[in-house]
Amino acid sequence: MRCTYCGVAVYCACGAAELEPGAIFRLRVADLSRRQATLDHLIPKSRGGRHDADNVAVACRSCNSSKQDLMFPAEWIPNRDLFTYIASSEALPPLENISRMGRLIGQLITELDPENLPPSVAEVCAVHHWRPRDVHLALAEMHRAGAFCVFAHPCSPSTRYYRPVTDPHDVFAGAVWVDGWS
């Protein structure tokens, strides 16, 4: 069994699904706890989701506890600071009533080198001493304003890129695609 969200091998306390025999000895106790299999509600019960087979998925304890009552992938993805990237652009469409953090990110993307791999939110926060939550809120604000298209890397469903929209008629602007989820 694997976690639906991050793909890590999980185990069930009842013994029906166990990790490889050697894996248990290589993991610390804290890692074993994070890898315990749980059932997660795709649509949280607090948002009207039902407790039935169509609405539950196997998740590691770590993903289930960090997801809380958020929706995947629009509001939450696993390890989002490490697996969310900001692509470079020469220009952005004009943005009105954007937050200070949004303006800082807009300035940052125009200074990024398009020849290099895009930086992750974790890398940007480490360099600029920004809080990840503030960056994600600003990216979501800019996405709603039509400045970014969000798309996923096809090989890794938990990896997404914020690509600046330079054409206001871009058909993908405003869409989030993650491994079949939209």
Check residue 178 and give its pLDDT.
42
What is the average per-residue pLDDT within 47-70? 90
Any domain includes 182: no
Q: Is the pLDDT of residue 172 over 60?
A: no
Which domain covers residue 20, as residue numbers?
A: 1-68
Any domain includes 156: yes
What DSSP string runs through the chain? -B-TTT--B-B-TTSSS---HHHHHHS-HHHHHHTBEEEEESS-GGGT--SSGGGEEEEEHHHHHHHTTPPTTTT--TTHHHHEEE---S-----SS--HHHHHHHHHHHHS-TTSPPPBHHHHHHHHT--HHHHHHHHHHHHHTTSEEEEE-TT-TT-EEEEE--STT-TTTT-EEBTTB-
Q: Is the pLDDT of residue 182 over 50?
A: no
Average pLDDT, the chain: 77
Q: Is the pLDDT of residue 54 over 80?
A: yes
CA–CA distance, 77 with 70 (Å, rounded to integer)? 9
Give the number of other Cβ atoms within 10 Å of residue 137's Cβ: 14
Any domain includes 163: yes
| Per-residue pLDDT tens digits for 119-171 | 888 999 999 999 988 888 888 888 777 777 766 655 555 566 677 776 666 55
| Per-residue pLDDT tens digits for 68-118 | 888 877 677 777 778 788 888 877 767 778 899 988 998 898 888 888 888
163 and 100 share a domain?
Answer: yes
Choose one of 47, 68, 89: the last residue of a domain: 68
Any domain includes 100: yes
84 and 173 share a domain?
Answer: yes
Any domain includes 51: yes
| Per-residue pLDDT tens digits for 8-45 | 888 776 655 565 655 655 655 556 677 788 999 989 99
Based on the structure, what is the number of domains in the chain? 2
Any domain includes 95: yes
Q: Is the pLDDT of residue 180 over 60?
A: no
Reported as a pLDDT band with limits 50, 70 and 90, residue 7 is confident
CA–CA distance, 120 with 133 (Å, rounded to integer)? 13
pTM over 0.95: no
99 and 58 share a domain?
Answer: no
